[in-house]
Every structure is written in structure tokens, then in C-alpha cells.
Structure 1
Amino acid sequence: MMSDTDLIKLYSGQILALAADIPLTTRLAEPDVTVKRRSPLCGSTVTVDIELDDTGRIAAFGQDVKACALGQAAASVVGSAIIGCTLSEVETARDQLKAMLKSDGPAPDAPFDGLKVLLPAKDYKNRHASIMLALDATLEAMCQVQASASCQ
């Protein structure tokens, strides 16, 4: 059980501000693909719609986020940075976020460097899946569109 001090540390004002202002929450009318990811531990879900341009970059993005404040904050950072990203950039961000949470890695590179606000969550393994949802769903969607063999 988390103490009150732990909760205050984890749910900082910055995290709560991000969670309260998630960009790109309008679902796309005709996306190239839609992917819904769910965290089995807490039940958080993120559904993303994407459209890619001819170069494989994200041209349009919509998301429906039903997650804890940490998952919402992560989705907020992703929504702010995702337009124009390539599969490689999303995959790198996902891998860097995972390393930050699980292996004491540094915060993800720009444009996803805002995810550093979630660094205090590394000590709460039960929150990691919710934090990863937005990037996991986006990467899965991009892989479906591009049918890339490099996707895992």
C-alpha cells in the first residue's frame, strides 16, 4: 500500500496537469487502422486511430484514453509529439520509456522527452503497463499499416 507521501510524490502537479489536458482525443472518422490496448492489471485502456502519409509518418491521430492519471499523462505527452513521427521514432520512444521505467534508463529523446515527468513511477511496477499503453497501441497500429517485419 502506498503512503500519502508516496502518492503525493507519484501524482505530481505536472502529471495531473498533463492528465487533465490530453491532446488529440477526437477519434478519426476513417483511420487507416484502430488499435485498442488494455492493461490487464488495472484495466486501463487506450484506443488509437492513425492515418499515415505516403512517407510512413503519422499524418493524423486520435485517441480515447480510459486510464489512471499516469496513463493519461503518458497519452498526453504522446498526443503532443506524435504527428509527423515514423515507425522507428515511435519504436525508439517505446523502448526508451520501457528502459526508463524498468532499467533506470534515461528519459526518452525528443520529441517524447516530456515522458521524463513519469520517472517517479519507475518504483511502482504495477503502473508501468498503463504508462506504456499509448506508445504500445501506436506502435502496434503503425506496424499493422506498414506490415513491417521489424515490429515486435
Structure 2
Amino acid sequence: MELSDLYSEKILDLAGNATQPGRLADADVSARKVSRVCGSVIEVDLVVRDGVIVGYGHEISACALGQTSAAVVAREIVGTQVGAFLDVRQAMHDMLKADGAPPSGKWEDLKYLEPVRGYPARHMSTLLVFDAVATALEKLESNQSVAVTG
């Protein structure tokens, strides 16, 4: 498979027709991730209530693979339990790095990124949005435990 084969019509369609959610002014937490390999950057904002992600925003500068991941996340994340999102993140890591199955259900469009498995240099940009959201969730959890204890 050639690198150009990664950029299937479906990937280009998902990336090219994605609604850009923009940043959230009232976010509970934000996080920024940068791919050292390709220079892709994403900043995510989250609002979380009772363990459910109820608000999401992002600003992204990435290749079509990173944009595709971010587009699916932006479309599906609101209303998702924090634990369920972390499961999707793990499934994406497993799909790319350990021959795992792609996420299913409302996340099934992520299956179009499965060919990225053969291109380790593209893993980081594909996973960028998942890692940024996970970092934001870790920050939020850390802030909440500080507020409760201190």
C-alpha cells in the first residue's frame, strides 16, 4: 500500500466536510496537543457534568487523518460518558498499534482510519484528538480532586 492509499475518498470526505466546532468560551477544561512528527496541533475544550461530556470545542491544524479523527470526535462526543470516551480512545490505540478492532456503534466511521496501522509515523496525528481529550479529562479530574481536598 502506498501512502496516497491512506487518503481514501471517505477520509477526504469526512475531513473536508467536517463542521468546525470552534473553541468554547465557558469550558471546564482545555488541553493542547502537538504532534512532534508532523506538526499537527489541536486545542480542545470540554464541559463535563456528572461524568458526561456535554460540551466540546476544538481548533485544529492537521493533516486529513488528524482532521478525520477530530471530525468524528466533534460529531459524536457530546452526550458520551467519560469512561466510554476513554474506551474509544483505547480502541483507537489498539486498532493502530496492536491489530485491534476499530470502534463500533456511533464511532464506526473511525474504521476508515484502520489503514493508518501500517504507517507508524501517522499514528500520532490520527490519535491527537483522543490524546488531547484524555489530557483535558485528566486535568479536570486533578482539578476536582484538588477542589475537594484543598
Relative to the length of structure 2, the TM-score reads 0.89
Match of 2:65 among 48, 58, 70: 70
Deviation at 1:138, TM superposition (A): 0.9
**Aligned-partner SS, 1:137:** helix
Deviation at 1:140, TM superposition (A): 1.4
1:100 aligns with 2:134: no
Q: Distance in 1 between matches of 2:55 and 2:136?
A: 12
Q: Distance in 1 between matches of 2:35 and 2:114?
A: 19
Deviation string for 1:29-81 (max 9, x for gaps)? 1211110001111110111001112x121111001111110000010111111
Task: Report the AA paired with residue 95 of structure 1.
Answer: Q
Can you give the 5+ residue segments of structure 2 that lack an aligned partner in the other structure? 146-150
**Aligned-partner SS, 1:40:** coil
Task: Report the AA paired with residue 60 of structure 1.
Answer: G
Deviation string for 1:109-132 (max 9, x for gaps)? 323221100011110100000000
Structure number with the higher helix fraction is 2
Within 5 Å, which residues of 2 pair with 1:1-150?
A: 6-53=2-49, 55-147=50-142
Deviation at 1:102, TM superposition (A): 0.9
Contact 1:87 1:143 in 2 (8 A): no
Q: Distance in 2 between matches of 1:31 and 1:19?
A: 24
Stretches of 4+ moved more than 4 A in 1?
Answer: none
Query: Over the residues paired in the alignment, what is the CA RMSD in angstroms?
Result: 1.6
Relative to the length of structure 1, the TM-score reads 0.88
- Number of equivalent positions: 144
Task: Report the AA paired with residue 35 of structure 2.
Answer: S
Deviation at 1:142, TM superposition (A): 1.6
**Aligned-partner SS, 1:70:** helix
Q: Distance in 1 between matches of 2:32 and 2:59?
A: 9
